[in-house]
Amino acid sequence: MSLDDIIRRMPKVELHTHLLGSMRAETFAELAARRGIRLPADPLTIFANINSPARPNPIYARTRIPVPVSDPAAEPDPSYPLLEVSRWAAPALVDADDFARVAYEAFADAATKSNVRHCEMFFEPTLYFAHGVRYETIADGVAAGARAAARDFGIGAAMIAGINRAQPAAMAEELVDAVIAHRRDEIVGIGLEDYELAGPPERFAVAYDRARRAGLRRTAHSSEHAPSAANTVACLDLLGCERIDHGYFVLEDDAVVARCRDQGVVFTCVFSTSRRSWRPWRRASVKAMVEAGLRVTLGADDPGMFPTTLTNEYLIAANVIGFDYPRIREFCLNAVDAAWIDPGARTAMRADFAHAIDALAAEFLPSRPDGDHP
């Protein structure tokens, strides 16, 4: 046995994955055919070739870790940009049963492919509003899928309503109002998503304040596309975010790095992205974040569409970046610490996870004279 085998077997928490991006290609094909959606290729081919080419952009000219641009020779041809694929996929989900199925299958895949014991998954209601689907339909569906997965796989299954930052603030406020008015136990918080340069966090302060007052948890995608730590500061100070999704460009500001390190802010990082040329940059950034003392955990983001799994992201951490057993263990326990669950349940989960991971290490990794593992 090796560290790879421990990664495959150890329990995990997933905090950064998306409902639509977790949809199985076979399910997409079936639902698209049912709705009469014409696709340029079969979904397996589309998902295998999702790629958003990275064009030269002067805003990335002086970043501390150089941001690459696309090399057409190294990327799929044809490529299918993620946002375009999302526009094809969204109309395939129409009724509560559709949403329940996709949610159920996504949680099932997390549990069976990566031994995920607790998963918090984003869903993006406004994608479906444009096709006449009501929030209550979406909420009923994802909640039912989460409950069924919890029953069948023993996974803690929670949903996060995603705000599209490219849309007006009023739409975000209406979405939060809908989440509050139609509460479901399985829908525990909100998140800010989509292309970061399209919408600064401060635009959504009112929506986030309403969510806070209603007891909803809060996170946001930040410092992913904008080459600055400023949006992360705004997410913490103006939006009251409890963790940060992505966060790579916090490295541009030493003072913000120090603040986040001192406050123990958890960053949910992802190596696999639809911008394939950015994957080495992501990996180098996460390595630098960890070396700077930031608290990092790993997510799969859009595992159906890229495709990947949470286990695969951990394997990248070990085999491509070179993180050792103590770091892998730390990433796993950071996710437990940042999970939006009852404090007592979190304490018990952390103890269970630590025991399980250490038992695997004791059995399968050589010990040093000091009793630690490499």
pLDDT, tens digit, 9 for 90 and up, residues 302-320:
999 999 999 999 999 999 9
Give pLDDT, residue 366.
Answer: 72
Give pLDDT, residue 245.
Answer: 98
Collect all residues with Cβ–Cβ distance below 8 Å to 71 and sequence separation of at least 6: 277
Mean pLDDT for the chain overall: 96
Give pLDDT, residue 364.
Answer: 80
Contact (CB, 8 A) for 167 and 126: yes
What band does 229 get if pLDDT is binned at 50, 70 and 90?
A: very high
Give pLDDT, residue 137.
Answer: 98
- The length of the chain in residues reads 374
Give the long-range contacts of residues 338-346, CB within 8 A, separation 24 or more. 338/15, 338/242, 338/243, 338/266, 338/268, 338/297, 339/13, 339/15, 339/118, 339/120, 339/156, 340/120, 340/158, 340/188, 340/189, 340/217, 340/242, 341/118, 341/156
Domain spans, the chain: 14-295
Decide if pLDDT at 5 tops 90: yes
pLDDT tens-digit profile of 274-283? 999 999 999 9
Mean pLDDT on 274-295:
97
Give the Cβ contact number of residue 267 at 10 Å.
Answer: 27
Contact (CB, 8 A) for 169 and 196: no
71-75, 203-207, 226-230, 356-360: the lowest-pLDDT one: 71-75
Decide if pLDDT at 372 tops 70: no
What band does 1 get if pLDDT is binned at 50, 70 and 90?
A: low
DSSP letter, residue 238: T
Decide if pLDDT at 214 tops 60: yes
Decide if pLDDT at 369 tops 80: no
Mean pLDDT on 279-291:
98
Q: 14-295 belongs to which CATH class? A: alpha beta
Mean pLDDT on 317-344:
97
What band does 57 get if pLDDT is binned at 50, 70 and 90?
A: very high
High-pLDDT (> 90) share of the chain, %: 95
Distance CA 87, CA 295 (A): 34
Decide if pLDDT at 370 tops 60: no
